[in-house]
Amino acid sequence: MALAGKADVESARGEQRIFEQLRSRLPQDTMWMFNPGDKLLAVASPVLAATLTADPAQAIPLWRQAAKAQDELGYDEPPAFYYPVLESLGGALLRSGNPAEAESVFRECLQQNPRDPRALFGLSEALKVQGKSDAADSIRRLFSESWKNPDVALRVQDL
């Protein structure tokens, strides 16, 4: 993921191959807190694959797979996976020109993670693209309250 973030996709794909090889050798009884290791890696694998997919429309099935796998994880504190994958699914839907479905996904994410600033941002952007200005402004205010003292400005491509 770090290599992908640095736009070194070739090296990231090499690391992805190593990850998948190691994943295939994970002992069946491996646990990560209250979740089997294979269930956690069933989230991580499509997240990595989707991140390395340049076309957001082609990444959508991978994001859906990751979100479904995340839903199948048992409850844990802190959560077993480091962020709500629905944020990225909504972002991919928005970038691929499907703001109405993105809106629905961001709303689902907010039901599971109230006041999640990234989901609020994505919802605001999805509403704005659909011409729902008043609703977008209202959600943008909630986002501003949740995204306090940021080091970076959030962008749709960051979701």
Instruction: Return the domain boundaries, the chain.
Output: 83-159
**Helical segments of the chain, H only:** 2-5, 9-24, 37-51, 56-71, 86-95, 99-112, 117-129, 133-146
Please identify which residue in the block is written with the tokens 């749709």: 156
- The per-residue pLDDT for range 7-31, each reduced to its tens digit, is 999 999 999 999 999 999 999 899 9
Please identify which residue in the block is written with the tokens 């997240």: 47
Please identify which residue in the block is written with the tokens 């993105």: 102
| pLDDT score, position 148 | 87
| pLDDT score, position 81 | 96
26: its two tokens: 């994970």
Q: What's the CATH code, domain 83-159? A: 1.25.40.10
> Nearest CA to 102 among 115, 114, 116, 120?
120
pLDDT mean across residues, the chain: 96
- The per-residue pLDDT for range 100-134, each reduced to its tens digit, is 999 999 999 999 999 999 999 999 999 999 999 99
DSSP state of 31: E
88: its two tokens: 């990225």
Share of the chain above pLDDT 70, in %: 100
Report residue 138's pLDDT band, with 50, 70 and 90 as the boundaries. very high
| pLDDT score, position 122 | 98
| pLDDT score, position 7 | 93
* pTM, full prediction: 0.94
| pLDDT score, position 14 | 97
| pLDDT score, position 155 | 94
| pLDDT score, position 28 | 87
- The per-residue pLDDT for range 28-82, each reduced to its tens digit, is 899 988 999 999 999 999 999 999 999 999 999 999 999 999 999 999 999 999 9
Q: What angle do CA 122, 109, 97 make, to 5 degrees?
A: 40
Whole-angstrom CA distances from 109 to 6, 15, 83, 153 are 27, 29, 11, 21
